[in-house]
Amino acid sequence: MGSLKITMEPLSEGNYHSWSIKMKSYLITKSLWKGVTDPSANAEESEQALALITLNVADHLLGSLSELANAGKAWKQLESTFKSKSVARKLQLKRELQTLKMKGEESDTNLFRDSYAFLSCPELNTSFHETTYNRSLTNAIAPAVSNAFARLAMFGESGGVTFYSTNTATMVRKVFKPPLAKLDQMEFMWLRKDGTPSRKMGKTTLNAEKFLLPISGDELSFREAPWNQNLTGGNCYSFSLNTDKASATEKPQPGDIAVVYSDMHEPYKLLEPFDLTDCTTLQRRVMADGIAMKRIMDRSNDGELFDHLKTVIRIGKMNDKPPRGTYKIAAVIDKGNDYHFFRQDVLDIYNLYTCPIYVYRNGKTFSAPKNPYQVLQIDAFTSGNSIMDMYDSKRRYDEATKDAFKKLTRDFGPAFEGAPAHLNRAITNVTIHVRRMPRYVIEEGNLIVDPFWLLDTPDDGTGLKKKGDALYDFFVRTDRQLHALTVQAALRDCERILRDRTLAPQKHQLIGLWSQKLGFATPAINTDGFMKLIFDPRRAMRQFGNGSSGFQYKVFCTAFYVDRNHGITSVPQGLGEFGLA
């Protein structure tokens, strides 16, 4: 008998119904379905079923499944996420709606029909355009159909469009207009790992408690000396522990420091075969190094009694504030291939848009191109008048400098095709923001330091709505959805601040971002695999390289707290280096 073959698209938003039928049928044919329905009594089948489920979901769902114990829990979590009629499901529908695009020779009318059918789906449980939330869904369609609007001369006096229902022969007249909804009424939610709403976004522009992880205030800054010297010795582990004098010929490994103490070999299994792509083993050897480093600092000889609670490395929690004098690191693994560490750094949020960006691409590490503020070597929040005062008409500027002045002022004409000159700086600000922010931050409420600065408008609200509409229309017209969402969020925050000035954030406050050192001969970088700033390693893109030569650090292991000044700057070859025996 020939083997059963199955063709299945990975589970993602929009295909849960068909995916669940196929996956259930496949598990039944493999006699594994009982591992879903009764995992405790069928542990082996449950483990195999969980593996098959995990292999057949989209990458962005892997994090929510990685910590589940059995296939039953995984199945229930996916079911609750994708079958729910709650706000969580509406958010998923919104993301689907934003990805609607015309297929092949599909007509404009068909695109409108698909869009209307989508908005009328039963899961929204309300009539078209009836609620504030549906208005936000309506706005989401604009990037997909704006060009079709321009081509179809179907606007009525009210700015409406005639739609034909896909399930009746009756023409249905609905008012569809893409401008912004009343943003101060929109509900922005964020989700737990199981896809259910956690809580409403707080009334703060910064959203620090939502996207940023707590810091102690004693963290290193990214590329702080000596790491600003492009040190290529050492690896991610030496970088995370700040052992900057790591050997230029060997890669320090977890456990290498502890191994100099023979009395630690047996308790921490330091000489046994080990797999550093196993989270338990990795954690044990890191903790052993922390104890050994503390013993070296205390000048403890080999064979002397030592307290295993005295250490410079402790198990930590990502969502907790580290103790004073420590900073946070995080361990991840590509099972069977490699381990990796991230380090949390400190940054004044005032420098969020001007700090240097270092990225990894095509096997190389390099600094990203400078934005106009970096070219002119000015703070991002420098006033427009001050920027023009810098300009000297008698000087001959290079092209990059001339372009920077043009993009930050209106005095040299339009800087972007299809946009008037008064939008130059706002378009520049939003573009810089989107290039640096992780996608999920923008989609889940955004983190904007100063919304008035972002939109290049006075902070008394003068001309806010008019400029916001023009800016939003420009990004919709040029099919830049994340930019349009950022404008929406900035307008929302501006309106809140105008009602309550106490909500305006401070421009100078310390936040925690993350960095990493990829490979043995590369400098440190402060971005992930998508070349975005790292707010949370658990949600960052952790795939680097291509195919068999790359790594996919899919499994998050744990966080550690590391003493800032532990005094160990290199991996010792023996205790004799410190005058110890």
Contacting residues for 393 by C-beta, under 8 A, at least 6 apart: none
pLDDT the model gives residue 379: 96
What is d(CA 293, CA 580) in angstroms, rounded to the nearest whole number? 13
67 Cβ contact list (under 8 Å, min separation 6): 193
372 preceded by a cis bond (ω within 30 of 0): no
Task: Considering only residues 242 and 375, tell me which one the structure prediction assigns the higher pLDDT.
Answer: 375
The model's confidence at residue 62, banded by pLDDT at 50, 70 and 90, is confident
Q: What is the pLDDT of residue 228?
A: 63
**Claim to verify: residue 156 and residue 245 sit in the same structural domain:** no
Q: Verify that 248 and 335 share a domain, yes or no.
A: yes
- Which of 63, 35, 62, 61 has its CA nearest to residue 50? 35
List the one residue out of 365, 375, 369 whose CA is nearest residue 398.
375
**Amino acid occupying residue 194:** D
Q: What is the pLDDT of residue 96?
A: 52
The answer to whether residue 394 sits within a structural domain is yes
Question: Given a cut of 80, is residue 28 above it in pLDDT?
Answer: yes
Domain boundary among 38, 64, 82: 82
- Cα separation, 399 vs 412, in Å, equals 14
Please, what's the largest Cα pairwise distance for the chain? 91
434 with 549, same domain? Answer: no
What is the C-alpha R_g of the chain? 27
In a domain, 398, yes or no: yes
Percent of the chain with pLDDT over 90: 50
Q: What is the pLDDT of residues 259-278, one digit of tens each?
A: 999 999 999 999 999 999 99
Q: How far apart are CA 303 and CA 319, in angstroms?
A: 38
- 473 is a domain residue: yes
90: left (phi over 0), alpha (psi -120 to 50) or beta: alpha
Q: Are residues 247 and 340 in the same domain?
A: yes
| Structural domain total, the chain | 4
Q: Are residues 412 and 436 in the same domain?
A: yes
Give the residues across from 326 on adjacent strands. Answer: 563
Beta strands 364-367 and 358-361, pairing class: antiparallel
Average pLDDT, the chain: 79
Taking the CA atoms of 368, 373, 376 and 377 in sequence, report the sign of the dihedral they define.
Answer: negative
Q: What is the pLDDT of residue 464?
A: 95
What is the domain extent for residue 551? 227-350+510-578
Residue finishing a domain among 495, 529, 554: 495
Residue at 504 is within a domain: no
Q: What is the pLDDT of residue 80?
A: 79
Contact of 324 with 353, CB cutoff 8 Å = no
User: Does residue 364 sit within a domain?
Assistant: no
Strands (E), 100-243: 161-164, 171-174, 189-191, 197-200
- Scan for tokens 């693994």, then name that residue: 333
Residue 554 lies in a domain: yes
Instruction: Answer whether 533's CB lies under 8 Å from 539's CB.
Output: no
Let me know: does 390 contact 383? Beta carbons within 8 Å.
no
Are 98 and 143 contained in the same domain?
yes
What type of residue is 489? A
Lowest mean per-residue pLDDT among 240-254, 343-357, 414-428, 514-528: 240-254
Residues 483-493 have a mean pLDDT of: 94
Does 222 fall in a domain?
no
* 320, 231: one domain: yes
End-to-end Cα separation, the chain, in angstroms: 68
Whether 539 and 444 have beta carbons less than 8 Å apart is answered as: no
Residue 421 CB burial class (10 angstroms; 0-12, 13-18, ≥19): middle
Q: Is the pLDDT of residue 13 over 60?
A: yes
DSSP, collapsed to helix, strand or coil, labels residue 484 as: helix
Q: 3-class secondary structure for 67-130?
A: CCCCHHHHHHHHHHHHCCCCHHHHHHHHHHHHCCCCCCCCCHHHHHHHHHHHHCCHHHCCCCCC
Task: Please report whether residue 214 resides in a domain.
Answer: no
For the cut 50, the answer to whether the pLDDT of residue 163 exceeds it is no
Whole-angstrom Cα distance, residue 181 to residue 188? 13
Q: What average pLDDT does the segment 287-313 reach?
A: 92
Give the DSSP H/E element, type plus range, for residue 547: none
Domain boundary among 82, 100, 124: 82
Lowest mean pLDDT of 143-147, 325-329, 563-567, name the range. 143-147
**One domain for residues 341 and 237:** yes
Burial group, residue 550, by CB count within 10 angstroms (0-12, 13-18, 19+) = middle
Please indicate, yes or no, whether residues 406 and 345 belong to a single structural domain of this protein. no
Tokens of 397: 């500027």
> Could you tell me the pLDDT band of residue 115, with boundaries at 50, 70 and 90?
low
Q: Which amino acid is at 104?
A: G
- Whose tokens are 């989700």? That residue is 191
> Which tokens in the block code for residue 549?
């030569």
71/24 same-domain check: yes
Mean pLDDT (whole number) for 117-131: 42
* pLDDT computed for residue 129 by the predictor: 36
Instruction: Count CB atoms within 10 A of the CB of residue 388.
Output: 14
Q: What contacts 24+ positions apart, CB below 8 Å, involve 412-416?
A: 416/474
